[in-house]
Amino acid sequence: MQTMIFAHRGASKYAPENTLPAFRLAYQMEADGIETDIQLTKDGIPILIHDEDLRRTTNGRGHIKDYHLEELKTLDAGAYFAATFIGTRILTLEEFLEWASDKPLHLNLELKNNKIDYEDIEIKVLDAIRKYQVKQRTTISSFNPESVKRMRQLDHTLDVAFLRSGKHPNLADYAKELGASSLHVKHTLLTPSLVKACEAAHLPIRVYTVNRTISIKKCLKLHCSGIITDVPDKAHHIRNIFK
């Protein structure tokens, strides 16, 4: 099977991450899928933003969990990136799914609950992907082992990925024990032996964040299931000419 290209937070090299402009651009660049991040607001609404704090990617301050959606919707999530994106707003998960529902995109929804273990985030996200009928082309991922377990208990057929940035002596087996059906690893962890272990465990392996030509080619050579990249156009071009 061909290695799939996921746009990391959208085409985030070229537009503000986790925003509609980044997602639209990724789609135009023919990414196979989109990876995005989910936090919960104070009123329990799933929104798309990577950091628990607002400072880096908006003109707000403080933690997302302390603001209601109505307040967060007043923030600018594009000005930090470039003047052309001034006025870009934070998206809710439902707004994103509504946009993506009629497009042939695979979705990788990362639950950002390894630092703040948001109550009921798993069921809220699961309800949303069921509502928009995209479950069959969606992967839910998390660094939080307990969240992986909870998601698997909620749905036995969903693709659930365990995220890992640090080494582990038996990572494929550990992911399988948690109930994961896929493994997502930082590019520095990718080795032929890990790929073989994932194959033995019947775990698709996807790699983040793969931007350099040499790293993209390595993933292709090892037949990884997916590449998660800030530059989907570059990855698409390399995949087209890769021998």
The answer to whether position 71 is within a domain reads no
**Quick one: pLDDT at residue 1?**
81
Count of the separate structural domains present in the chain: 1
**Quick one: pLDDT at residue 40?**
98
The answer to whether position 37 is within a domain reads yes
The answer to whether position 59 is within a domain reads no
pLDDT (tens place) for every residue of the chain, 243 residues total: 899 999 999 999 999 999 999 999 999 999 999 999 999 999 999 999 999 999 999 999 999 999 999 999 999 999 999 999 999 999 999 999 999 999 999 999 999 999 999 999 999 999 999 999 999 999 999 999 999 999 999 999 999 999 999 999 999 999 999 999 999 999 999 999 999 999 999 999 999 999 999 999 999 999 999 999 999 999 999 999 996
**Quick one: pLDDT at residue 70?**
98
The answer to whether position 69 is within a domain reads no
Could you give the CA distance from residue 36 to residue 96 in angstroms, rounded to a whole number?
Answer: 10
The answer to whether position 68 is within a domain reads no
Report pLDDT digits (tens) over 164-190.
999 999 999 999 999 999 999 999 999
The answer to whether position 204 is within a domain reads yes
Do 1 and 32 touch, CB atoms closer than 8 A?
Answer: no
Catalytic annotation present for 50: yes
Q: Given the residues 8, 106, 187, 236, select the one marked as catalytic.
A: 8
List CB contacts of 212: < 8 A, sequence separation 6 or more.
none
* Residue from 41, 144, 149, 54 nearest 94 by CA: 41
| CA angle (103 as vertex; 57, 219 as ends), nearest 5 | 70
Residue 94: other Cβ atoms inside 10 A:
14
Catalytic annotation present for 68: no
CA-based max dimension of the chain: 50
Could you give the CA distance from residue 163 to residue 187 in angstroms, rounded to a whole number?
Answer: 12
Phi, psi of 216 (to 5 degrees): -60, -45
Instruction: Tell me the residue range of the domain where 155 lies.
Output: 4-54+91-241
**Quick one: pLDDT at residue 226?**
98
End-to-end CA distance of the chain: give it in Å, rounded. Answer: 15
The answer to whether position 40 is within a domain reads yes
Residue found under tokens 């990925």: 161
The one-character DSSP state at 56 is T
The answer to whether position 41 is within a domain reads yes
Could you give the CA distance from residue 189 to residue 235 in angstroms, rounded to a whole number?
Answer: 19
- Tell me the CATH number at 181: 3.20.20.190
205's enclosing H/E stretch is strand 205-208
